[in-house]
């Protein structure tokens, strides 16, 4: 039996939806009626022959032909060969030094101030749609107010275009055409965790298709990479990111979810494989769960585990992103990743840059799409923002700024 999946079943509590159902709360009469009707539909589907054959049903979840699962890098002075070759096997590299610890703490303070700032350009746009919502978000320092800060905040943009990051991306993507198209802020607080998940066609998870694959190009695990920059201490004690290194070669969890998103009726057929009492607990989570990676992610992992006996059977190792302030990890979102709950009162703050190889991917308009009860769309061009950050568009003085070679560090983490 697959030892990794055994551990994931325990860590992710795949058979227990109590926490997710509690977060949803009591269902309304209409919601209960919907769950009852769909549950009855799965019992009808159970009579079909296909529901007796897991393998035949699983064949529907094939990955697109425009994707490959191997990583090829190239030598570069910005990263050592051992790190680069390890990345080809695992999809993970780090930690690398981006800035001094004191500067990282100052950047953390800068970002916290940005989340509170009434003149935050993103907050202004949200307030134009819903002033009350914008005030609430600022009062709790909602990290969404730091979404794509590189577009309008020069300091965040400068950090994300520093040579230690750009050069590492050039080596690991095997390209000179590196661009940062998205940035996010993540905060880990006590008792909170992020379930294991993988993002393959990452832009689609935000409800738009700004990024498109160029003609005759193939989407690879390193066509889009993440720079995970710790602004505070990160470790198992405060819920650091955990990546299952090597899982980028098996995208079947994501592929299954993507298939169901395009073929909702197939999801009912999937549920027909499970006992009625489980279906009646799964349906509320699928229909009424909210929040990134809550509930639905767990179910997609459970469904993939159910239909595939060899899920993540290749060489895999757990990599905890243990970091000091100012250190960086690079990883592919093809790999399963998540975090355990923080066991301390200390906040963990992370700045994340999302990078693409523009030889493979065209950025497009890069419109911001926010779900705030209503869908809010913001065109960076009409706001005078930078819709994508490229290293070769920086001022000369910035391009000449390099971190000292002695500041670039790598620790054996796997």
Q: What is the pLDDT of residues 376-412, one digit of tens each?
A: 889 999 999 999 999 764 433 444 444 433 334 444 4
Per the domain annotation, does 391 fall within a domain?
Answer: yes
pLDDT of residue 52: 65
Per the domain annotation, does 122 fall within a domain?
Answer: yes
pLDDT of residue 207: 42
Per the domain annotation, does 362 fall within a domain?
Answer: yes
Integer CA distances (angstroms), 264 to 148, 225, 399, in order: 31, 30, 48
133 and 263 part of one domain: no
17 and 95 part of one domain: no
93 and 49 part of one domain: no
331 and 261 part of one domain: no
117 and 232 part of one domain: yes
Per the domain annotation, does 93 fall within a domain?
Answer: yes
272 and 242 part of one domain: no
Per the domain annotation, does 71 fall within a domain?
Answer: no
Task: Name 382's bridge partners.
Answer: none
185 and 236 part of one domain: yes
Task: Name 96's bridge partners.
Answer: 328
Q: Residue 281: which domain range?
A: 3-64+253-303
Per the domain annotation, does 124 fall within a domain?
Answer: yes
Domain boundary among 303, 323, 345: 303
Burial 224-250 (b: 16+ CB within 10 A, else e): bbbbbbbbbbbbeebbbbbbbbbbbbb
124 and 222 part of one domain: yes
pLDDT of residue 398: 47
Task: Name 368's bridge partners.
Answer: 378
154 and 111 part of one domain: yes
278 and 379 part of one domain: no
pTM for the complete prediction? 0.86
Per the domain annotation, does 72 fall within a domain?
Answer: no
154 and 282 part of one domain: no
Q: What CATH number did the domain enclosing 176 receive?
A: 2.60.120.620
Domain boundary among 303, 321, 340: 303
pLDDT of residue 407: 36
pLDDT of residue 103: 98
Q: Tens digit of pLDDT per residue, the chain (414 long)?
A: 578 888 888 888 898 999 889 989 999 999 999 999 999 999 888 776 455 678 778 887 776 666 788 999 999 988 999 999 999 999 999 999 999 999 999 999 999 999 999 999 999 999 999 999 999 999 999 999 999 999 999 999 999 999 999 999 999 999 999 999 999 999 988 877 888 888 876 444 334 467 888 888 888 999 999 999 999 999 999 999 999 999 999 988 888 888 888 888 889 989 989 999 999 999 999 999 875 556 888 999 999 999 888 889 888 899 999 999 999 999 998 999 999 888 888 889 999 999 999 999 988 888 888 888 788 889 999 999 999 999 764 433 444 444 433 334 444 444
Domains contained in the chain, number: 2
192 and 125 part of one domain: yes
Per the domain annotation, does 295 fall within a domain?
Answer: yes
């Amino acid at each position: 039996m697959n030892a990794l999946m055994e551990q994931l079943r325990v860590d992710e509590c795949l058979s227990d939806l109590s926490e997710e159902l509690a977060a949803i709360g009591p269902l309304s009469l209409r919601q209960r009626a919907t769950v009852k009707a769909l549950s009855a539909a799965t019992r009808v589907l159970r009579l079909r022959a296909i529901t007796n054959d897991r393998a035949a049903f699983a064949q529907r979840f094939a990955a697109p032909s425009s994707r490959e699962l191997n990583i090829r890098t190239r030598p570069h002075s910005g990263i050592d060969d051992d790190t680069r070759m390890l990345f080809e096997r695992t999809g993970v590299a780090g930690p690398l030094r981006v800035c001094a610890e004191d500067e990282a703490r100052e950047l953390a303070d800068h970002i916290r101030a940005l989340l509170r700032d009434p003149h935050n350009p993103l907050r202004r746009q949200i307030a134009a749609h819903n002033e009350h919502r914008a005030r609430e978000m600022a009062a709790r320092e909602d990290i969404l107010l730091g979404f794509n800060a590189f577009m309008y905040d020069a300091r965040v943009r400068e950090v994300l275009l520093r040579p230690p990051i750009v050069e590492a991306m050039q080596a690991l993507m095997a390209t000179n055409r590196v661009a940062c198209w998205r940035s996010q802020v993540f905060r880990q607080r006590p008792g909170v965790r992020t379930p294991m998940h993988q993002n393959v066609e990452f832009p689609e998870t935000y409800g738009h298709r700004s990024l498109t694959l160029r003609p005759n190009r193939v989407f690879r695990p390193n066509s889009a990479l993440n720079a995970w920059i710790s602004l505070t201490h990160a470790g198992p004690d405060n819920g650091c990111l955990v990546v299952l290194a090597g899982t980028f070669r098996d995208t079947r969890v994501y592929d299954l979810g993507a298939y169901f998103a395009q073929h909702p009726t197939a999801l009912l057929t999937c549920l027909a494989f499970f006992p009625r009492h489980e279906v009646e607990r799964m349906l509320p989570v699928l229909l009424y769960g909210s929040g990134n990676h809550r509930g639905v992610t767990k179910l997609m992992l459970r469904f993939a585990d159910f239909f595939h006996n060899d899920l993540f059977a290749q060489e895999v190792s757990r990599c905890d992103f243990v970091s000091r302030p100012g250190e960086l990890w690079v990883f592919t979102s093809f790999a399963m990743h998540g975090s355990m709950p923080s066991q301390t009162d200390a906040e963990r703050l992370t700045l994340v840059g999302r990078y693409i190889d523009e030889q493979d991917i065209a950025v497009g308009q890069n419109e911001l799409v926010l779900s705030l009860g209503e869908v809010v769309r913001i065109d960076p061009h009409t706001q005078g923002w930078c819709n994508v950050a490229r290293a070769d568009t920086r001022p000369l003085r910035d391009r000449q700024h390099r971190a000292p070679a002695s500041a670039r560090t790598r620790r054996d983490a796997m």
